[in-house]
Amino acid sequence: MVALLSGCVTQTSGTPHQAASASTTSPSSGTATAPATTPIAFSDCSNSFNLSGAIPADRLTKLTVECGKLRVPQNYDRPNGATLSISVIKLHYTEQTDRIGSLLMNPGGPGGSGIFLAISEAGSIDVSILQHFDLIGFDPRGVGVSSPVACVSDAQKDELNGQNPNVLTAAGFAVAKASAAAVAAACSARFGTDLADYNTVETARDMDLIRAGVGDQSMNYLGYSYGTQLGSIYAHLFPSRIRVAVLDGAVNPDTDAITSFANQLQGFESAFDQFAADCVTKSPCKSLGNPRQVVYDLVKQTNITPLPSAKSGETRTAGSAIVLTGVLSALYSSDSWPTLGNALIQAKQGDAAGLFELADEYNERSDDGTYSNIYEANLTISCNDEAPGPTDAVIRSTATQWSTRYPMFGLWSATALFGCQAWQPIRHLLPAPSAVGSKPILVIGTLHDPATPYASTQALATALGSGVVLSWDGQGHTAYGRGSDCIDSKVNAYLIDGTLPPPNTVCPK
């Protein structure tokens, strides 16, 4: 992990860093221009997906599902140079009325697949949205099936995801540093200087070509988690093209990466306490006793003797990294708390199957042992967005602080501080996302969001200059489509009519 995944689909805005070096570049602010594009040629691709597993049958009969590809400049400073292929999906409701345009969406990450998000949203989003918008999903450059960054084997990912070296020891520090350097070297060897072109600013420019390619004059956008960062950079580059933009689970643009990472850790420690308070009141979870102590004991035990899994065909054993990944994975949504409780009960009985299931979902590992490329995509985009660093001294001091301040996740997470240390040196720092001149942008925050803490909500809205805050007194990561009729109705009204909620609106749990 470079950083904690910041969505059911995704990782935060990057890895801790220090001041920019001479090798760092930064995009200019203001309105960007995009190369001309031709319409995206879409064709039916409904047989390429298991749609019946994601979309109710009565709705599926009223949807067309088409895919297309768009060629974009690999580097927008060289618009006539090499290109990348961006994969796009369009879901159209055949009973559409009063069409407004297309709703482009991103699930977060960086590294999450917008293609699968669009399919998921088509199955669950209010029908009023389908009546006004085509749903447009895309895999951002470097992600999934859009010119993917692939430089780490599945076997290596199993090894990396299973590591939990103690970076407070000389040996553990050396292991973590060497592992990160080896990944960086492998990706540079595979892609060379092209690796630098996979970054958020270039992706935001791709989004404008997608907008034009589907025939829209203005942008309608829905972004979750890291998708709020991507959306805010789009608004910064193209403020006059925003019609509506929903940024749900805001990433704070004003916080340095180590502080942002630390805020996440505090969020997940608090989320675990919320899970534990619920657990001790319900069966069978309350049979655990003290859930936090159970996790501490499992970490200690599996650092010595990893746990086997009773799942048929599973040959892996779960060390402490799998234990902690599984726990953290379940904290993104309170809906997963019963699953976590059962997984911990199983683990106490010597079976890691439940923890593996949670960890594999988080790491996007399939039952056959293959992974998506979210590991490389997240690493690449996150590192390219950040200045080089941090130094060994900063990592040591930060790890020492985190080990006591965040007793469940701090020391384990400190290994991620090495992620960008040896990364390629050409960086593209994100501009401060001012979007003055754009139409109002709806920024949503969940009061008890562990992955994108609530304080980030007002910070992003203020930075944009056009942001309007909507809050939800709920738990878990992001708010729209999470079961709050209050949130959903206000977002739908904004998307369709541009109607904003009253200032300081807080929707109840």
DSSP state of 365: B
Question: Residue 344 corresponds to which tokens in the numbers above?
Answer: 């911990």
Mean pLDDT, residues 398-425 taken together? 97
Beta-sheet pairing, 43-44 with 24-25: unpaired
Query: Is 43 among the catalytic positions?
Result: no
pLDDT at 3 (0 to 100): 45
Indicate whether 85 pLDDT > 60: yes
Q: Tokens 């949205």: give the residue.
A: 129
Query: CA 117, CA 125: separation in Å to the nearest integer?
Result: 11
Query: CA 268, CA 262: separation in Å to the nearest integer?
Result: 10
pLDDT at 1 (0 to 100): 39
Query: Is 477 among the catalytic positions?
Result: yes
User: pLDDT above 70 covers what percent of the chain?
Assistant: 93
* Cβ burial, residue 165 (10 Å; 0-12/13-18/19+): buried
pLDDT at 5 (0 to 100): 42
pLDDT at 299 (0 to 100): 98
pLDDT at 504 (0 to 100): 87
Indicate whether 248 pLDDT > 60: yes
List 320, 477, 484, 488, catalytic entry: 477
Q: Give the pLDDT confidence of 132-166 residue by residue, as tens digits.
A: 999 999 999 999 999 999 999 999 999 999 999 99
Query: Is 225 among the catalytic positions?
Result: yes
The distance of Cα 237 from the centroid of its chain, to the nearest Å, equals 21
- Total residues found in the chain within this entry: 509
Mean pLDDT, residues 99-109 taken together? 97
Mean pLDDT, residues 58-68 taken together? 97
Considering only residues 361 and 503, tell me which one the structure prediction assigns the higher pLDDT.
361
Taking all residues of the chain, what is their mean pLDDT, rounded to a whole number? Answer: 93
Mean pLDDT, residues 52-63 taken together? 94
pLDDT at 503 (0 to 100): 86
Considering only residues 37 and 469, tell me which one the structure prediction assigns the higher pLDDT.
469
pLDDT at 128 (0 to 100): 97
Q: Give the pLDDT confidence of 354-405 residue by residue, as tens digits.
A: 999 999 999 999 999 999 999 999 999 999 999 999 999 999 999 999 999 9
Crossing angle between the packed helical segments 337-348 and 353-363, to the nearest 10 degrees? 130
List 449, 466, 471, 488, catalytic entry: 449
Torsion over CA of 123, 60, 489 and 472, rounded to 10 degrees?
0
Question: Residue 376 corresponds to which tokens in the numbers above?
Answer: 């490389």
Burial 66-88 (b: 16+ CB within 10 A, else e): bbbebebbbebeeeeeeebebbb
Rg, the chain, Cα only = 22
Mean pLDDT, residues 473-485 taken together? 96
Mean pLDDT, residues 275-291 taken together? 98
pLDDT at 53 (0 to 100): 86
DSSP state of 507: E
Query: CA 452, CA 388: separation in Å to the nearest integer?
Result: 23
Indicate whether 205 pLDDT > 80: yes
Indicate whether 222 pLDDT > 90: yes
Query: CA 303, CA 297: separation in Å to the nearest integer?
Result: 10
Q: Give the pLDDT confidence of 3-56 residue by residue, as tens digits.
A: 454 333 433 323 222 222 334 454 544 445 557 778 999 999 999 999 998 999
Please give the helix or strand (H or E) that residue 247 lies within, else none. Answer: strand 242-248
Torsion over CA of 486, 490, 495 and 500, rounded to 10 degrees?
-160
Mean pLDDT, residues 99-104 taken together? 98
Considering only residues 257 and 484, tell me which one the structure prediction assigns the higher pLDDT.
484
Nearest to 37, CA basis, from 79, 91, 67: 79
Burial 401-440 (b: 16+ CB within 10 A, else e): ebbeebebbbbbbbbbbbbbbbbbeebbbbbebbbeebbb
List 188, 225, 438, 456, catalytic entry: 225
pLDDT at 19 (0 to 100): 26
